[in-house]
Structure 1
Amino acid sequence: MTTVDEPRAYPAAIPERLDPDPQLAELRNQPMIRVRLPYGEPAWLATRYDDVKIVLGDPRFSRAAATGRDEPRLRPLIPPPGNIMSLDPPEHSRLRRLVTKAFTVRRIERLRPRVQRLADGLIDDMLVAGGPADLVEAFALPLPVAVICELLGVPFEDRGEFRYWSDAFLSTTRYTPEEVGACALAMREYTAGLIARRRAEPREDLITALVQARDEQDRLSEDEMLSLIQAILVAGHETTASQIPNFVYVLLNHPAQLSALDDVPRAVEELMRFVPLGLGAGIPRYATEDVELGGVLVRAGEPVLPAVTSANRDESVFTDPARLDLRREEASHVGFGHGAHHCLGAPLARMELQVAIGMLFGRLPGLRLSDGEAGIDWKTGLSTRGPERMMITWD
């Protein structure tokens, strides 16, 4: 067991583009250290695959225990209590069951033809307009937004508003705390309006199903319903909209791997492992008892940050992990998390990414960056990475 040292800043510098923080490889080879993020109390940092899975999946590490604590985070505002990401089973399980049916693999596969038609239409529009095109605005953003809007029952024409709110929710420095708070209030009022409309005019969508679970079965509170819809709306489009151009960028920088796109599902899994979406570690968990982990003793009440990006590059689990290998056959990545909080929308994200990558490289021969790095504007001031603008062209 090691002694507790003074926490060090993490990350020391924001990694550029999609490169993982170089500190992580060093930290995987030593006992866990304590770190301090821009906001909140110090925390232990779990960097190894096995340790990260324990933090994410072992009930001795709690999300609910963060309530009332100054939890470590990249963003200034503390997540509000009572949302699904702040709960442990059985309360977490109760809410999760209400929406699980909408995201089963079987149901998502039934959506695949619809998503393919949407993707086809967006690519048709790009072909008619001709290159160059901004991949983000022309394809990567409207595809997952259209899908999550249809699933939830949210008007697609409102996408500009909730895109702005999503950026505010993910803001590290782009918006002030006051602006983030104003966006949170505006999104809450908007969501309440959607709920009111579905109470008056029920439809075959997820918001209607949640309203019925609230009004007819008393299975969740009004606040829980509001928080759940907001979380699905943000998470349901933001990560996929970022990963589509991220994946395209990585593939264009690894042209030798393009021949392996004959197996798109496997390629997407390797890209999920390889591409770091978040800037820092994941959401902290608090130890509910003393636990030996990563060569240190984590005391009850201490937070641990699971560094998913580091776990996906663990040399003890993945052969040559810094190399992209679209035919890799090794342990599962933790890009969608692990345990009770494993990403609810993982089947949907996988399917959308498979459709997007398969169709972009299938229908746009010679797909390439039109202006090289000069044609890419990378996100800044947000906790997720990816291009805000990415100019592409094709033959």
Structure 2
Amino acid sequence: MTDQVVPPSEFYTDDFAADPYPAFARLRQDTPVCPVGGPRFDSYLITRFEDAKVALNDPRLSKDLYGPEQHYLRIFGPNSEGLNKNMLNSDPPEHSRLRQVVSQAFTSRRIEALRPRVAETVDNLLDKIIPQGQSDLMHDFAIPLPMMVICQLLGIPETDHERVLGWTQVIRTSGSSSRPPEEERAAVQLAQLRLHQYLTSLVQYKRAHPGDDLIGALVDACDNEGKLSERELVTTTFLLLFAGHQTTADFIGNATVALLTNPDQLDLLRTRPELLPSAVEELLRFDGPLPVASPRIATEDVEYQGVHIPRGSIVGVVINAANHDPAQFADPDRLDLSRVRGPHIGFGHGVHYCLGVSLARMEGQIGIGALLRRLPGLRLAVPADQLRRLPAASPFRGLLELPVEFTT
């Protein structure tokens, strides 16, 4: 084991973006708690499964980026607080209070009631794709599907879906264009501003025109129950909007590529569609959309694997490295849809376990199942190593484009 500090640039290469798993394997083996040095702060990456589970539920590793030390300024910049001060970036008891407000909307029973609507949305999107014989599945399917579902759940008018999607995609694809960095930052900040202004005005509209949707329920929790402040109302709406579609979109894209590049597993799922629920879990373990959990702050000196992590350090739990840990999963780099379901941490662990897990699983099962059923001969239109991905510096693992062909 080495205590050498790794520069962040090691993880910002095109090769790493294409396939980070060899680098993750080296970290697990040689530096399971890896110091990463940078000009603004020092951070540590935790890569082994058991350490990752402990860290994700360690109260000494705080999610509150907006406390007195204002860590968010170092990480996200001064314009982030208007959208990011929410339950994702908070600790109990604040986190518990905020999570309780929205948890009733994400019960398994309520989500299961959405199944017919999700299936209809999937079929409508595929009806537009099928006559073409080819598609960019990210643009035509993987991104709009969860966006439409979460917008319907929140109560965002259909006439606004396109521009809301536009703002979120500017944020999602940050760093992927050829524009100068200062122009890229300005574009992202403008998209954040526009989205914040839109959600603020939408909340006011819902206040004047109550409806049977999630934003309406949040307004009621703010105005009549006193469970949310006005700012928390807007930031919670943003979190549900962004988290409700971003990771699911990237998951569907990653899962499709994994299946198309593992034809034996693709054939297995076509012939045994009853494997879909377990297949979604294995595909999430194999190449999840959130490689590193959102950052944590060490509120005191802590130690993992004999490595001293000083108070104030940023700690990143590398979910995708932990989910390929051979100490936890046999032959972890092999996609095995018949694998006995193991306790992967693709949805997190502990108090911050993904609130929308039931919705994400359902969208994945319906979406992937329909792709295989309705697009015969589905195949990549370019070699897998030519697929354009989000930049390595992105917090998400996903595709910019997914060109495919199929038989009509």
TM-score of the two chains, using structure 1 as the length reference: 0.90
**CA, structure 1 residues 157+66, in 2 after alignment: closer, same or farther (shift >3 Å)?**
same
Residues 272/72 of structure 1: CA separation in 2 closer, same or farther (3 Å cut)? farther
Identify the range of structure 1 (49-58 vs 63-72) with the bigger mean alpha-carbon deviation.
Answer: 63-72
The offset of 1:134, in angstroms, is: 2.3
Q: In 2, Cα distance between the equivalents of 1:374 and 1:292?
A: 39
Counterparts of 2:383 and 2:202, CA distance in 1 = 42
The one-letter amino acid of 1:258's match is L
The answer (yes or no) to whether the contact 2:41–2:313 under 8 Å persists in 1 is no
Q: Which moved more, 1:14-23 or 1:340-349?
A: 14-23
- The 5 Å alignment of 1:130-169 reads 130-169=132-171
Once the two structures are superposed, residues 220-252 of structure 1 have per-residue CA deviations (whole angstroms, 9 ceiling, x without a partner) of 100001000011111111111222122111101
Distance 1:170 1:387, change over 3 A: closer
Where is the helix percentage greater, Structure 1 or Structure 2?
A: 2
Instruction: Verify the 8 A CA contact 2:324 2:332 in the aligned structure 1.
Output: yes
Give the equivalent residue in structure 2 for 1:106: 109
Q: CA deviation at 1:274?
A: 0.6
Please say which of residues 5-14 and 69-78 is displaced more in the overlay: 69-78
State yes or no: 1:351 paired with 2:350: no
Match of 1:318 in 2: 329
Deviations 1:117-174 (A, max 9, x none): 21122222223x2311222232222211111111000123323322232234345524
Distance 1:320 1:72, change over 3 A: farther
Residue aligned with 1:389, SS: coil
- The CA deviation string for residues 44-101 of structure 1, in whole angstroms up to 9 with x for no partner, is 2111111111111121221126633446988666842632222101101111111111
Letter in 1 for 2:286: F
Other structure's SS at 1:173 match: coil
Aligned partners of 1:5 and 1:135: how far apart in 2? 41
Which amino acid in the other structure matches residue 89 of structure 2? S
1: CA distance between counterparts of 2:109 and 2:369?
20
Q: Mark the CA change 1:378 to 1:7 in structure 2 (over 3 Å): closer, same or farther.
A: closer
Q: Does 1:341 align with 2:352?
A: yes
* Contact 1:40-1:71 at 8 Å conserved across structures: no
* Aligned position for 1:327: 338
Q: Which amino acid aligns with 1:162?
A: V
Partner residue, 1:36: 37
Q: Paired residue for 1:8?
A: 7
The match for 2:287 is 275
Tell me what 2:373 maps to.
362
> Closer, same or farther in 2 for the Cα pair 1:15/1:383, shift >3 Å?
farther
Instruction: State the SS of the aligned residue for 2:59.
Output: coil
Partner Cα separation in structure 1 for residue 342 and residue 155 of structure 2: 37
- Structure 2 counterpart of 1:126, one-letter code: I
- Alpha-carbon distance in 1 for matches of 2:342, 2:73: 29
Change beyond 3 A, Cα 1:344–1:212: same
Letter in 1 for 2:401: R
Point out where structure 2 has 5 or more consecutive residues left out of the alignment. Answer: 177-182
Letter paired with 1:33: C
User: Can you list the C-alpha shifts for 1:242-300, whole angstroms capped at 9, x where unaligned?
Assistant: 2212211110100001243221010000000011424x633222233333312223333
- Which residue in the other structure is 1:292 paired with? 303
Q: Is the 8 A contact 1:85 1:341 kept in 2?
A: yes
Q: 1:357 & 1:26 partners in 2: Cα distance?
A: 32
Ranges in structure 1 where 5+ consecutive residues have no aligned partner: none
1:190 to 194, 198, 213: 198
Cross-structure match for 2:399 = 387
Alignment RMSD (CA, Å) = 2.6
Q: After superposing the two structures, state which structure 1 stretch, 157-166 or 46-55, moved more.
A: 157-166
Which deviates the most, 306-315 or 293-302?
293-302
Which range moved further: 163-172 or 256-265? 163-172
Kept in 2, the 8 Å contact 1:36–1:42? The answer is yes
1:215 maps to: 223
Q: TM-score by structure 2 length? A: 0.88
Is 1:64 the equivalent of 2:53? no
Tell me how far apart the structure 2 counterparts of residues 295 and 303 of structure 1 sit (CA, whole Å): 17
- Alpha-carbon distance in 2 for matches of 1:5, 1:66: 30
1:232 is aligned to: 240
Deviation, structure 1 residue 34: 0.8
- For 1:265, the equivalent position in structure 2 comes to 277
**For the residues of structure 1 that align with 2:404 and 2:42, how far apart are their CA atoms?**
42
Name the CA distance, whole Å, in 2 between partners of 1:329 and 1:49. Answer: 17
Give the C-alpha shift of residue 15 in structure 1. Answer: 4.0
Structure-2 separation of matches of 1:309 and 1:160: 31
